[in-house]
Structure 1
Amino acid sequence: MPVSELAGSTAVVTGAGRGFGRGVAAELIRAGARVLGLARDREALEKARADLGDAFVPVPGDATDPGLAADLLARHAPRTVVLAAGATPAMLPLQDHTWETFSAAWDTDVRHVFGWSRAALRQPLPPGSTVVAFSSGAALRGSPLSGGYAGAKAAVRFVAAYADGQSRRHGLGIRFTALLPSLAPTTDLGVGAAAAYAAYEGITTEAFVDRMGPLLTPQAAGAAVLELARGQRTDALAYGLSADGLTPLAD
């Protein structure tokens, strides 16, 4: 999609109240889009509205609700859909997890990416639309303290690839892609994960973060999504994402 088409377009961002979702919403608005920001936390959404202005439209709700996904896509036909909602994993060794804590990312992250991708295909969204699903670098490297999180994020990447395959098969012209961001202690989720892994290694959180080098920020994540929404990067189905930007991943 050409750069100019983002101005005046509509976008939907799930998980828009915090972290990467909030950063993506801000960058889309900066590019001229109207953003429907979905999250369960009404207070966080209202704060985002106050900070980002009237171009941010708060939508309190559950991103895993398939009826809500179908309704929003049907009513607004967004050109850009960013699936950034996700459960915060319990940071525990395997033996201390319950099935409920172990499977939380499957019930939220995977379920909502599946539901929105399915709705985008069934409607379908207009040709030229882009759906970006946030996976995680943990899908490549594992995450031994977060239960089923790494496996769930790998499944998110697969769902996006499957959806893109169906779009191509049926000539829908919708692009689906996945982003696999590195651990980012610039978000609440990343702060908790960094502290847990630092404790696991017996070092301070500061030492753990210092050795990571440049940190991925929500603003940088938003800038990466803009590249994809504008059609500036079409060389892969999935991308690693770090402070250095996008890295195409082999299929």
Structure 2
Amino acid sequence: MGSLQGQNVVVVGGSRGVGRSIVEAALGEGANVLAVARGAEALKELAWEASGVRTLAADATQDVAPDRVFAALQPDVLVICAGAFAPSACIQDQSWDDFSANWETDVKASFLFCRAALQGRLKPGSRVVLISSGAAFSGGPPNSGGYSGAKQMQMFLAAHSQKEADRLGLGLRFMALAPMRIMAGTGVGQRGISSISAYLGISPADFLASLSDVQTPADVGRAVVALAGGKVPGIAFTVSGSGLAAAA
């Protein structure tokens, strides 16, 4: 029997890349899984390839998104993995819309769902996992706009939400998970690899060769399953090729 047997797992941003790996990991552990994403076509492909997954096309940055998602499936585990591509231009060449893209998507989606949870929309015992990034620790390159700050804010948001949940006696668990290395084979990862290597003036292959202890999307999926079990103490975590660890 899987570790999430019979539990409801909702993955917002679950149609592709890391989100899809989280969906697949949860399905493998016996969960009832709802994948939420903007793109209906990507969700259709996921439903065809991942037997048993339920899907919902919704924009996680809309105020009504939590209502729509929770009406479709009330989660025991809620994973927020939705995110925008980081900018790929130097600061002086960005507009504010470019710079703030990850605040308007990654942070806003996390905020809306955490707010809904703190307003009593999730039952006691529910777990919320925000997918952040190692850029929250490293700061990222100067051509990535507000990406690193947005990912750090997700970690702050998990900590703030946990304090509020405890103060209100809601019985909820909030966590943030940061994959520490950029990952090839995902849309966000490929875009980031191209952008960073161009900024550094090296080839994508050379940039990838410079990285060590790189996690895979499947590693992230396994880390989320471990956190969803609710037995790993802490709020902020990292995952690398070496596995899951508490954030320093």
Shift in CA distance, 22/39, structure 1 to aligned 2, threshold 3 Å: same
User: How many residues matched?
Assistant: 246
Alignment map for 1:1-251 (pairs within 5 Å): 6-53=4-51, 55-73=52-70, 76-143=73-140, 144-182=142-180, 183-234=182-233, 236-250=234-248
Which residue identity does 1:80 align to in structure 2?
A: V
Which residue identity does 1:16 align to in structure 2?
A: G
Shift in CA distance, 4/124, structure 1 to aligned 2, threshold 3 Å: farther
SS of 2:18 mapped into structure 1: helix
Q: Is the contact made by 1:12 and 1:38 (CA closer than 8 Å) also made in structure 2? A: yes
Q: CA deviation at 1:66?
A: 2.5
| Cα distance between partner residues in 1 of 2:92 and 2:150 | 19
| Cα distance between partner residues in 2 of 1:89 and 1:212 | 20
| Cα distance between partner residues in 1 of 2:73 and 2:189 | 32
Q: CA deviation at 1:4?
A: 5.7
- Greater Cα offset, 99-108 or 212-221: 212-221
Which residue identity does 2:154 align to in structure 1?
A: V
Segments of structure 1 that go 5 or more residues without pairing to the other structure are none
How many percent identity over aligned positions? Answer: 38
Report the TM-score, using the length of structure 1 for normalisation: 0.93
Which residue identity does 2:45 align to in structure 1?
A: K
Cα RMSD of the aligned pairs, angstroms, is 1.5
SS of 1:207 mapped into structure 2: helix
Q: Is the contact made by 2:120 and 2:170 (CA closer than 8 Å) also made in structure 1? A: no
Q: Is the contact made by 1:185 and 1:215 (CA closer than 8 Å) also made in structure 2? A: no
Which residue identity does 2:190 align to in structure 1?
A: V
| Cα distance between partner residues in 1 of 2:110 and 2:214 | 26
Q: CA deviation at 1:26?
A: 0.5
Q: Is the contact made by 1:160 and 1:177 (CA closer than 8 Å) also made in structure 2? A: yes
Shift in CA distance, 51/4, structure 1 to aligned 2, threshold 3 Å: closer
Q: After the TM superposition, list the runs of 4 or more consecutive aligned residues in structure 1 that deviate by more than 6 angstroms.
A: none
Per-residue deviation, residues 145-166 of structure 1 (Å, max 9, x unmatched):
1101111111111111111111
Report the TM-score, using the length of structure 2 for normalisation: 0.94
Which residue identity does 1:87 align to in structure 2?
A: A
| Cα distance between partner residues in 1 of 2:160 and 2:152 | 12
Q: CA deviation at 1:74?
A: 5.1
